[in-house]
Structure 1
Amino acid sequence: MASSAIETDGQEILDLEKNRQAEMSQWVLNAPEPPSLWRELMDSARETVLPRGKRFPYLKDKDGLSKTVISVLQAMFPIFSWCRHYNATKLRNDLLAGLTLASLCIPQSIGYATLAKLDPQYGLYTSVIPPLIYAVMGTSRDIAIGPVAVVSLLMSSMVPKLEDPEANPIAYRNLVLTTTFFAGIFQAAFGLFRLGFLVDFLSHAAIVGFVSGAAIVIGLQQMKGLLGIAHFTNKTDVISVMQAIWRSVHQYWNPHNFILGCSFLSFIKLTRFVGKRNRKLFWLPATAPLISVVLSTLLVYLTRADKHGVMIIKHIKKGLNPGSIHELQFNNPHIGEVAKTGLIVAVIAITEATAVGRSFASIKGYHINGNQEMVAFGFMNILGSFTSCYVATGSFSRSAVNFSAGCETAMSNIVMAITVIISLELFTRLLYFTPIAVLSAIILSALPGLVDPHEAYYIWKVDKLDFLVCIGAFFGVLFASVEIGLLAAVIISFVKIIIFSIRPGTEELGRLPGTDIFCDVNQYPMAVKNSKALIIRVKSGLLCFANANFVKEKIMKWATEEEENDSQGKRTVQVVILDMSNLMNIDMSGIASLLELQNNLASGGMELAITNPKWQVIHKLRLANFVTKMGGRVFLTVGEAVDACLGAKMAAV
Structure 2
Amino acid sequence: MAIGRSFAIIKNEQIDGNKEMIAYGFMNIIGSLTSCYLTTGPFSKTAVNVNSGCKTPMANVVQGFCMMLTLLFLAPIFSYTPLVALAAIIMSAMLGLINYEEMYHLYKVDKFDFAICMAAFFGVSFGSMDIGLLLSVGLSLLRALLYVARPAACKLGRLPNTSLYRDTEQYPETMSLEGILVLQLGSPVYFANCSYIRERYINEEDAVTEYRTEHILLDLSGIVNPRIEVLEKMTLAKFVDVLGKQAFYLSIEEAIQSCRFTMDTSTKEEALGSSKTEDVV
Is the shorter-chain TM-score for this pair beyond 0.5, marking a shared fold?
yes
Distance 1:433-1:487 versus aligned 2 partners, 3 A rule: same
Which residue of the other structure, out of 243, 250, 255, is the alignment partner of 1:630? 243
Match of 2:203 in 1: 557
Deviations 1:221-276 (A, max 9, x none): xxxxxxxxxxxxxxxxxxxxxxxxxxxxxxxxxxxxxxxxxxxxxxxxxxxxxxxx
The CA deviation at 1:478 is 4.9
- SS of 1:526's equivalent? coil
The CA deviation at 1:648 is 4.6
Distance 1:414-1:460 versus aligned 2 partners, 3 A rule: same
Deviations 1:198-226 (A, max 9, x none): xxxxxxxxxxxxxxxxxxxxxxxxxxxxx
Match of 1:639 in 2: 253
Pair 1:401 & 2:52 matched: yes
The CA deviation at 1:561 is 5.3
Which residue of the other structure, out of 78, 81, 93, is the alignment partner of 1:435? 78
Pair 1:359 & 2:6 matched: no
Report if the CA contact (8 A) 1:532-1:573 is conserved. yes
Report if the CA contact (8 A) 2:151-2:187 is conserved. no
Distance 1:382-1:353 versus aligned 2 partners, 3 A rule: farther
Report if the CA contact (8 A) 1:510-1:518 is conserved. yes
The CA deviation at 1:509 is 1.3
CA–CA separation in structure 2 for the residues paired with 1:544 and 1:372: 39
- SS of 2:201's equivalent? helix
Match of 1:465 in 2: 112
Distance 1:357-1:391 versus aligned 2 partners, 3 A rule: same
Pair 1:514 & 2:161 matched: yes
Match of 2:215 in 1: 575
Match of 1:6 in 2: none
The residue identity in structure 1 corresponding to 2:253 is: G
- SS of 1:635's equivalent? coil
Name the one with the larger helix percent.
1
CA–CA separation in structure 1 for the residues paired with 2:172 and 2:75: 75
The residue identity in structure 2 corresponding to 1:642 is: I
The CA deviation at 1:471 is 3.1
Report if the CA contact (8 A) 2:117-2:136 is conserved. yes
The CA deviation at 1:398 is 0.2
Match of 2:266 in 1: none
CA–CA separation in structure 2 for the residues paired with 1:423 and 1:648: 82
Distance 1:531-1:384 versus aligned 2 partners, 3 A rule: farther
The residue identity in structure 2 corresponding to 1:514 is: N
Which residue of the other structure, out of 27, 35, 40, is the alignment partner of 1:392? 40
CA–CA separation in structure 1 for the residues paired with 2:259 and 2:31: 67
Distance 1:630-1:385 versus aligned 2 partners, 3 A rule: farther
CA–CA separation in structure 1 for the residues paired with 2:57 and 2:236: 56
Question: What is the number of equivalent residue pairs in this alignment?
Answer: 254
Which residue of the other structure, out of 187, 193, 210, is the alignment partner of 1:547? 193
Distance 1:463-1:547 versus aligned 2 partners, 3 A rule: same
CA–CA separation in structure 2 for the residues paired with 1:502 and 1:437: 59
CA–CA separation in structure 2 for the residues paired with 1:623 and 1:371: 46
The CA deviation at 1:418 is 6.2
Distance 1:524-1:421 versus aligned 2 partners, 3 A rule: closer
The CA deviation at 1:368 is 3.2
Deviations 1:306-334 (A, max 9, x none): xxxxxxxxxxxxxxxxxxxxxxxxxxxxx
CA–CA separation in structure 2 for the residues paired with 1:623 and 1:386: 64
CA–CA separation in structure 1 for the residues paired with 2:193 and 2:75: 64
CA–CA separation in structure 1 for the residues paired with 2:170 and 2:67: 64
**Seq. identity, %:** 28
The CA deviation at 1:419 is 6.3
The residue identity in structure 2 corresponding to 1:396 is: A
CA–CA separation in structure 2 for the residues paired with 1:521 and 1:498: 26
Name structure 2 gaps, 5 residues minimum. Answer: 264-281
Report if the CA contact (8 A) 1:586-1:620 is conserved. no
TM-score normalised over the length of structure 2 = 0.71
Report if the CA contact (8 A) 2:24-2:39 is conserved. no
After superposition, residues 245-394 of structure 1 pair within 5 angstroms as 350-360=1-11, 362=12, 367-381=14-28, 383-385=30-32, 387=34, 388-393=36-41
Tell me the C-alpha RMSD between the 2 structures: 3.7
TM-score normalised over the length of structure 1 = 0.34
The CA deviation at 1:415 is 5.9
Pair 1:489 & 2:136 matched: yes
CA–CA separation in structure 2 for the residues paired with 1:623 and 1:393: 56
Distance 1:420-1:620 versus aligned 2 partners, 3 A rule: farther
CA–CA separation in structure 1 for the residues paired with 2:242 and 2:26: 55
Distance 1:371-1:581 versus aligned 2 partners, 3 A rule: farther
